[in-house]
Amino acid sequence: MDILFVQARIDATKLLIVAYEDAALAVGSGGVESYTLDTGQSRQTVTKLDLDKLNTTIDSLYNRCATLEARLTGSGSLTVRPAW
Residue 80 lies in a domain: no
Do 68 and 13 contact (CB within 8 A), yes or no? yes
Residue 84 lies in a domain: no
Q: What's the chain look like in SS3?
A: CCHHHHHHHHHHHHHHHHHHHHHHHHHHCCCCCEEEEECCCCEEEEEHHHHHHHHHHHHHHHHHHHHHHHHHHCCCCCCCCCCC
Residue 43 lies in a domain: yes
CA distance 65 to 27: 24
Position 78 scores a pLDDT of: 60
Position 77 scores a pLDDT of: 58
Residue 16 lies in a domain: yes
- Could you tell me the pTM of the whole model? 0.81
Residue 83 lies in a domain: no
Residue 81 lies in a domain: no
Residue 69 lies in a domain: yes
Query: For residue 19, what are the domain limits?
Result: 3-73
Position 79 scores a pLDDT of: 63
> Based on the structure, what is the number of domains in the chain?
1
Residue 54 lies in a domain: yes
Q: pLDDT tens per residue, the chain (84 residues)?
A: 689 999 999 999 999 999 999 999 999 988 888 999 888 888 999 999 999 999 999 999 999 999 999 988 877 656 677 777
